[in-house]
């Protein structure tokens, strides 16, 4: 079974721009969660989608948004990028959102 | 979810057992202990989880104290490839996995 895939793997943007990241979960997994990882803050939960609905949300500003499609693929969008948004963005999937999660390799976003 | 405390770093000789401790003194009766690890620049990888009984799989063993206030992850024969950051988290199993709170973890360095 193929693992969780994320595209692109690396991205460089400038302040004020917006960005869309994509995540394809493991086949059959309906839950997709997004995390932001920075050296200072560690691994922080952004939001979780299950069956195209946002089920949980972390403490991030409204500039961070996401969606999930009927095939469970998910996208994450960050508008009006700030320097502090530079981070590794990780996507994780699980069959129902309960139990262990399977993480993708991440997208390394650099904001200049 | 209960908070966990882990030592920031540990060393282990290659071929020896690596014992990684985790304190979760405020754990609730319905919270499970999960362990993940993150090798540099990759997404976290699920290792093992348990409620109150000791658990073993092909990767590791999990020993949970009788009062469930602490646990130890054991890698029986550490290799250089086990060098990673190890995260211990506690979570109610039937709640959304995406809400997992990852702390700072323990950086395990396996030395030849």
User: Cβ A48–B96 below 8 Å, yes or no?
Assistant: yes
What is the pLDDT, as a whole number, of residue A103? 94
H, E, C per residue of A43-95:
EEEEEEEECCEEEEECCCCCCEEEEECCCCCEEEEECCCCHHHCEEEEEEEEC
Q: Could you tell me the pLDDT band of residue B2, with boundaries at 50, 70 and 90?
A: low
Computed over every residue of chain B, the mean pLDDT equals 90
Report the residue from B45, B94, B102 with minimal CB separation from A98. Answer: B94
Contact between B108 and B18 (Cβ < 8 Å): yes
Contact between B4 and B100 (Cβ < 8 Å): no
Contact between B91 and B97 (Cβ < 8 Å): yes
Distance from CA of B80 to the nearest CA of A (A): 20
What are the tens digits of pLDDT across the range B18-58? Answer: 999 999 998 888 888 999 999 987 899 999 999 998 999 99
User: Cβ A104–B43 below 8 Å, yes or no?
Assistant: yes
Q: Is B51 on the interface with A (CB under 8 A)?
A: no
Distance of alpha carbon A31 from the chain centroid? 12
- SS3 state at B78: coil
For residue B77, list its beta bridge partners. Answer: none
| Size of the A and B interface in Cβ pairs below 8 Å | 69
């Amino acid at each position: 079974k193929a693992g969780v895939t994320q595209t692109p793997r690396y991205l460089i943007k400038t302040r004020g721009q917006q960005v869309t990241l994509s995540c394809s979960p493991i086949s059959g997994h309906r839950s997709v969660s997004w995390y932001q990882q920075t050296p200072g803050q560690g691994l922080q939960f952004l939001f979780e989608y299950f069956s195209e609905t946002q089920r949980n949300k972390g403490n991030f500003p409204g500039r961070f948004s996401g969606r999930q499609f009927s095939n469970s693929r998910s996208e994450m969008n960050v508008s009006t990028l700030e320097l502090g948004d530079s981070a590794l963005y990780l996507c994780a999937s699980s069959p129902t959102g309960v139990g262990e999660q399977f993480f993708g390799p991440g997208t390394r976003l650099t904001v200049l | 979810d209960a908070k966990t405390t882990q030592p920031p770093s540990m060393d282990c000789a290659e071929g020896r057992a690596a014992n990684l401790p985790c304190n979760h003194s405020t754990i609730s009766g319905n919270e499970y202990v999960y362990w993940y690890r993150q090798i540099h620049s990759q997404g976290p990888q699920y290792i093992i989880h348990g409620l109150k009984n000791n658990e073993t799989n092909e990767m590791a063993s999990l020993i949970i104290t009788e009062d469930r206030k602490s646990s130890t992850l054991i890698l029986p024969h550490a290799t250089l490839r086990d060098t990673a950051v190890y995260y211990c988290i506690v979570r109610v199993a039937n709640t959304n996995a995406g809400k997992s709170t990852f702390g700072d973890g323990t950086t395990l360095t396996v030395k030849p």
